[in-house]
């Protein structure tokens, strides 16, 4: 296994870890909102990240590497923080949207970092561009939802 392939695989595993975190975070947000539209939105985002995870795992395996199996400690702490904010916030829907915006911005930075890797295979580049595009589009949607609140 070349060092280049291992580097790409490690970066993809980093994205996969963040994808697990996002999926769990969106599930948690869906559980914590009473607003029907937001609940559906967060559930859809959780399902989307679940699918992203499968795509990333397949790509990692194509490099002969093993995908990580869970999220990060940082993600677990972030979800705990969301629970605390929800508990003490008078407008927990707005707080969850703010956290979603923060998380999506961080995800875009992660994707951009990996996409700037010049040695990506065509399939990896295509998958990451598609996923980054979906995250970017939904970031604009979340910002609009927050403006409505």
Q: Which tens digits make up the pLDDT trace of 79-130?
A: 455 555 554 455 578 878 888 888 899 999 999 999 998 789 999 999 999 9
Note whether 76 and 23 are within 8 A (CB).
no
How much is the pLDDT for 35? 87
Q: Which tens digits make up the pLDDT trace of 15-28?
A: 998 898 889 889 98
Q: Which tens digits make up the pLDDT trace of 36-70?
A: 988 999 999 999 999 999 999 999 999 888 898 76
How much is the pLDDT for 143? 79
Radius of gyration of the chain from Cα atoms?
Answer: 16
């Amino acid at each position: 296994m070349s060092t280049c392939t291992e580097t790409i695989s490690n970066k993809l595993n980093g994205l996969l870890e963040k994808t697990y975190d996002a999926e769990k975070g969106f599930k948690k947000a869906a559980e914590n909102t009473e607003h029907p539209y937001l609940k559906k939105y967060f559930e859809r985002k959780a399902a989307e990240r679940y699918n992203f995870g499968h795509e990333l795992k397949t790509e990692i395996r194509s490099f002969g590497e093993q995908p990580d199996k869970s999220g990060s400690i940082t993600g677990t702490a972030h979800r705990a923080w969301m629970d605390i904010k929800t508990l003490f916030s008078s407008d927990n829907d707005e707080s969850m949207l703010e956290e979603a915006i923060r998380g999506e911005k961080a995800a875009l930075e992660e994707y951009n970092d990996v996409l700037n890797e010049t040695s990506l295979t065509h399939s990896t580049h295509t998958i990451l561009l598609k996923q980054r595009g979906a995250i970017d589009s939904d970031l604009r949607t979340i910002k609009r939802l927050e403006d409505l609140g």
